[in-house]
Amino acid sequence: MIHQRTKDLILYFSYYLTKFLYPYYVMKYLDSANLYLHLGSGSNIISGFINIDVNPLRKGILYYDIRNKLPFKAGSVRFVFASNVFEHFYPDEIFEIFRNIYQNLESDGIIRIVVPDLEKAVDAYKEKKYSFFGAFPRSYKSIGGRFSNFIFCDAQHRITYDFSYLQELLMISGFNSENIMKMEFGISNLPQEIYNKIKPFEVNFANTDLFIEVRK
């Protein structure tokens, strides 16, 4: 696994490179509408979606750093899916990302968010549920080590969320509190044909993560 110090260096250049290329992306998607975005896709390509990631070597993705203004026309995005992405940013970056998503979503557009659940992790730590915590990116025997491994992920995670915190950040970014809904794995207000496409990328986090859907 690449150390976070190396990733930080790569991300530094990705931020400015994609910022420089922003006019190109704007022209590319200027007339687009009803878009479906998959943020931080990695190699998990979803058909019919624009899969976005900062690894320029991956095929089938849009190489872009979402800390920059999203390269789409305001109100042109129908749906955004982001699984295990938003914990990798600093709080000030999250504010900008959420504001950009809000601006890009069309009226009644939806974002589905999946992040490691702080509340579930704290409960598992207090109850000493060793099985709750995996061995990635490091393997520990102690409950403290496993908890730290889950929360910080070898310094890859910059922020952790429970529902109330994520709700607050979304509200600050413009979303209405009444439209921020806590969900569960397998439960969604999305059309079934859309949710069936993203469901396989949630299954590994069914018992550990927080699932939220937000309607603009």
Average pLDDT, the chain: 94
Tell me what pLDDT residue 1 has: 65
Task: State the burial class of residue 15 (Cβ atoms within 10 Å of its Cβ: 0-12, 13-18, 19+).
Answer: middle
- Specify whether the CB–CB gap between 147 and 121 falls below 8 A: yes
* pLDDT-derived band at 30, boundaries 50, 70, 90: confident
> What percent of the chain has a predicted confidence (pLDDT) above 90?
85
Q: 4-117+161-215: what fold? A: Rossmann fold (3.40.50)
pLDDT score for 9:
76
Confidence of residue 196 (pLDDT cuts 50, 70, 90): very high
Q: Is the pLDDT of residue 26 over 90?
A: no
Q: What is the pLDDT of residue 3?
A: 74
Widest CA span of the chain, in angstroms?
54
- What is residue 8's predicted lDDT score, i.e. its pLDDT? 80
Sheet with strand 209-215: strands edge to edge? 62-63, 50-53, 35-39, 77-83, 105-116, 209-215, 180-183
**Mean pLDDT within 18-25:** 90
Q: How far apart are CA 195 and CA 197, in angstroms?
A: 5
* pLDDT tens track for 133-165: 999 999 999 999 999 999 999 999 999 999 999
Q: Is the pLDDT of residue 198 over 80?
A: yes
Model pLDDT, residue 4? 75
- The structural domains of the chain, with segments of one domain joined by +, span 4-117+161-215, 118-159
Give the rounded distance of the alpha carbon of 50 from its chain centre: 14
Q: Residues 85-123: pLDDT tens digits?
A: 999 999 999 999 999 999 999 999 999 999 999 999 999
Angle formed at CA 158 by CA 153 and CA 161, multiple of 5 degrees? 90
